Amino acid sequence: MSECRASKAEKIRLACENKDKACEAKLIDIVIDGRERTVKKGTTILEVARSLGIKIPTLCYHEDLCIAGICRICLVEVVGMETLQASCSYSIEREIEVKTHSHKIRKARRHILDLMLANHVGECYSCIRNGNCELQDLAEDYGITKYPFGHPNKTVKPVDCSSMSIVRDMDKCILCRRCVRSCVDLQEVGVFGVKERGDRCYISTFGDRNMEDVICINCGQCVNRCPTGALHEKDQTEEVWKALEDKNKHVVIQTAPAPRAGIGELFGLAPGKSLTLEINTGLKYCGFDRVFDTCFSADLTIIEEGLELLLRLKKNLMEDGNEALPQFTSCSPGWVKYLEHFNPKYIENLSTAKSPQQMFGSIIKTYYCEKNNIDPKDVVTVALMPCTAKKFEAAREEMCDSGYRDIDYGLTTRELGKMFKEVGLDLPNLEKSKFDDPFGGISGSGVIFGATGGVMESAIRTIYELVTGKEIESVFAAGEIKVVRGFEKIKYAELTIDEVGKVPELLKPYFDSFDFLKGVTLKVAVCHGTANAKMVLENIEAGGEFSGCHFIEFMACPGGCLGGGGQPIPTNKEIRKARAQAIYGEDKKSTIKKSYKNPAVIELYENFLKDGPGGHGAHKLLHTDYIARGKKLT
């Protein structure tokens, strides 16, 4: 969050959290609904109420965003004040008595809802957020059964479906500004803004352009925080159903780690329950011919990306080369597009390795088709992802090295949940099924890709063992590199390579020895969310700490993929933590924890990409180039 844009109450609270001594020492006695409490100066009424289990309705407020105090649905009464106050932005700086319910409060909240609904076009049953809409829930809570100020049913504003990833339906907008704050403060991209004033106010893109014509990185964080159906992913479920019902098509799907840790929330489970094997059963029930694990291609990514890093290090340390360092990860399409737009001069730092989704698509339409004697034109590849940006990535012109579009359709976690519900599946109670061969064998390294720091941890596990010949467990207990885990904005770590081992067969085409790495301290960093990515890039530009790094993991979304724009709504810090625990739980149970030990990956190199990692075949199918998009005005 950008502190300069925070409200006064938010700045006071931030000062308290940062241990400002004057603020920390100030404790204030208050009374809320007759209950006495002592709170820190700067605490908001809403925070106190929630700590007491008192429910105050909110619409513009979100735990991830700076306070706005716009919607006014959270109004409460502060005794002695003439007007009702917004509890989300009221900073407690003196002794007060608060009432959170009274006839005056209930009447005010109901009128606010009535006025919102008077501008809210359409009926709930035809909305994509039916059953999971904060406005709809409040209308039910307050017993709204008619519209005293009227209710329009005819479309007023056209729906913008121009983006590959995100749909805007401004007839459903309630002007809460969550999308604006998500894009400006949380991600520092700035697609949305507010135009006009009063009853003419509306949320706009730059120049009122369509989504495809503005600098949008397709991350979907605006979608995850929109309380209504004003923003949602571009639904591709009908196209997938059509493919499944076509007897001439062979439909395969790959499932990423993060959806497994989140999809249970769509079926009433608490966050943090992994349903990996139940999803497999559900997908077979829906008619998919094969169900594969994206963790296979995540392991493949680590091999290709790791080799690329070692080659950059060799050229710079041994051959006085000028290879771009630090090397940046490239598996987050939102992050890649962010760099292409805002810092294209650093494109050379991006790993050329495709994301696991796109690597898998290339392998399906070549190796898999060849092995099973299937014409690739008859194969439909679907990817289950936590990410709306993956839809854009699948449609990139570069992603057709197999001779066909590598990935035909990208489904978000929410879309797959919808498909399961359409066929009447109770996902949590389905029997468990294994992934299909030959891409069913996975490693724990592939699984943890779903959490921020997971790519870095996976890379270190493999690179360290290949270079030193020692197991990573000799340095980190159970092979868990906790220094790169967690939800801090930016993490930094160092690992000194004291000894080197023999070059393994896998890497002999490129290295005679690893002596050039002996005594080198590998410096790495991890950041999630593009606002944090901006800080890292600015630090590199200024010659700061991160300019000395060798490898940096970037993820566009807060928390990494498990906080992706296609994950179940709602999301917040606690939910993302629970999903991370599910992902690390799967890693803990896995028998293979290093990418280079994945038997399916080894078999692929032995039988198909015979010139090994980084070879001609691998470069053709598993690597790509990027575009300097910049910020041109059109």
Catalytic residue among 304, 393, 415, 465: 393
Mean pLDDT across the stretch 333-354? 98
Q: Which of 553, 575, 538 is nearest to 491 (CA)?
A: 553
CB 358 within 8 Å of CB 581: no
- Judged on CB neighbours under 10 Å (0-12, 13-18, 19+), 191 is buried
In the residue annotation, 17 being an active-site residue is answered as no
- Candidate list 398, 488, 494, 499, residue with the active-site label: 398
What are the respective helix, strand and coil percentages of the chain, to the nearest 5? Answer: 45, 15, 45
Rounded to whole angstroms, the Cα distance separating 96 from 80 reads: 9
Average pLDDT over residues 376-394: 98
C-alpha 284, offset from chain centre: 26
Angstrom distance (rounded) from CA 114 to CA 127 = 19
> What are 95-143's pLDDT values in tens digits?
999 999 999 999 999 999 999 999 999 889 999 999 999 999 999 999 9
CA nearest neighbour of 258 among 528, 540, 42: 528
Question: CA–CA distance from 138 to each of 50, 104, 141 (Å)?
Answer: 17, 17, 5
Whether 457 is catalytic is no
Q: In this structure, how many other beta carbons lie within 10 angstroms of the beta carbon of residue 403?
A: 11
- Tell me the three state secondary structure of residue 604: helix
Say whether 305 is catalytic. yes
What percent of the chain has a predicted confidence (pLDDT) above 70?
95
Helix (H) / strand (E) containing 279? helix 276-286
Catalytic residue from among 71, 286, 561, 594: 561
- 286 part of the active site: no
Supply the pLDDT for residue 20.
52
Residue 527: pLDDT band with limits 50, 70, 90: very high
Check whether the bond before 438 is cis (ω within 30° of 0).
yes
Sign of CA dihedral 340, 345, 346, 350: positive
Residue 2: the pLDDT is 42
Q: Which residues contact 330 (CB under 8 A, 6 or more apart)?
A: 305, 336, 350, 351, 352, 353, 354, 355, 626
Phi-psi group of 122: left, alpha or beta (phi > 0 → left; psi -120 to 50 → alpha; rest → beta):
left
Residue 14 confidence (pLDDT) above 70: no
Pairing of strands 166-168, 231-233: antiparallel
Mind listing the pLDDT tens digit for each residue in 361-380?
A: 999 999 999 999 999 999 99
* Catalytic residue list contains 390: yes
Q: In angstroms, how far is CA 19 from the centroid of its own chain?
A: 30
Express each pLDDT in 17-72 by its tens digit.
Answer: 555 555 555 899 999 999 999 999 999 999 999 999 999 999 999 999 999 999 99
Bridge partners (DSSP) of residue 350 are 328
DSSP E strands, 173-261? 192-195, 202-205, 231-233, 250-255
Going from the C-alpha of 416 to that of each of 264, 280, 525, the distances in angstroms are 11, 12, 33
Annotated catalytic residue within 233, 265, 305, 415: 305
Q: CA-CA distance, 133 to 303, in Å (whole number)?
A: 43
Q: Is 234 a catalytic residue?
A: no
Q: How many CA atoms lie within 13 A of 9 on its CB side?
A: 17
Residue 524 has pLDDT above 90, yes or no: yes
Query: What's the average model confidence in pLDDT over 549-553?
Result: 98
Q: Which of 351, 402, 443, 445 is catalytic?
A: 351
Q: Which residue has the tokens 């468990």?
A: 432
pLDDT at position 4 is 44
Q: Is-catalytic flag, 494?
A: no
SS3 501: coil
- In the predicted model, is pLDDT for residue 634 greater than 60? no
- Examine the residue annotation and report whether 107 is marked as an active-site residue of this protein: no
| Mean pLDDT of all residues belonging to the chain | 94
Can you tell me the mean pLDDT for 161-166? Answer: 98
Instruction: In whole angstroms, give the CA distance from residue 567 to residue 387.
Output: 7
pLDDT confidence of residue 9: 47
Top pLDDT among 288 and 151 is at: 288
Mapping DSSP onto H, E and C, the string for 43-77 reads CEHHHHHHHCCCCCCCCCCCCCCCCCCCCCCCEEE
Residue range 497-507: average pLDDT? Answer: 96
- Measured distance CA(289)–CA(248) in Å, rounded: 12
Confidence of residue 352 (pLDDT cuts 50, 70, 90): very high
Q: 248 vs 162, 254, 373, 378, 411, CA distance in Å?
A: 30, 20, 14, 7, 21
Helix (H, G, I), strand (E, B) or coil at 473: helix
Confidence class of residue 11 from pLDDT cuts 50, 70 and 90? low
> With 80 as the cut, is the pLDDT of residue 195 above it?
yes
* Span 230-257, average pLDDT: 98
Averaged pLDDT, 328-351: 98
Please pick, among 88, 127, 176, 331, the residue that the annotation labels catalytic: 331
Residue by residue, DSSP assigns 367-396 as IIHHHHT--GGGEEEEEEES-SHHHHHHH-
- Choose, from 304, 308, 340, 457, the residue flagged as catalytic: 308
The C-alpha atoms of residue 200 and residue 330 are separated, in whole angstroms, by 42
- Bond from prior residue into 326 cis (ω within 30 degrees of 0): yes
User: What is the C-alpha separation between 301 and 618, in angstroms, rounded?
Assistant: 11
For residue range 117-126, list pLDDT tens digits in order.
999 998 899 9
Q: Is the pTM of this model over 0.85?
A: yes
Per the CB < 8 A criterion, the answer to whether 493 and 524 are in contact is yes
Tokens representing 506 are 């896998």
CA distance 183 to 583: 27
pLDDT band at 578 (very low <50, low <70, confident <90, very high): very high
**Confidence class for position 442, pLDDT limits 50, 70, 90:** confident
Residues 6+ apart with CB under 8 A from 303: 462, 506, 595, 596, 601, 613
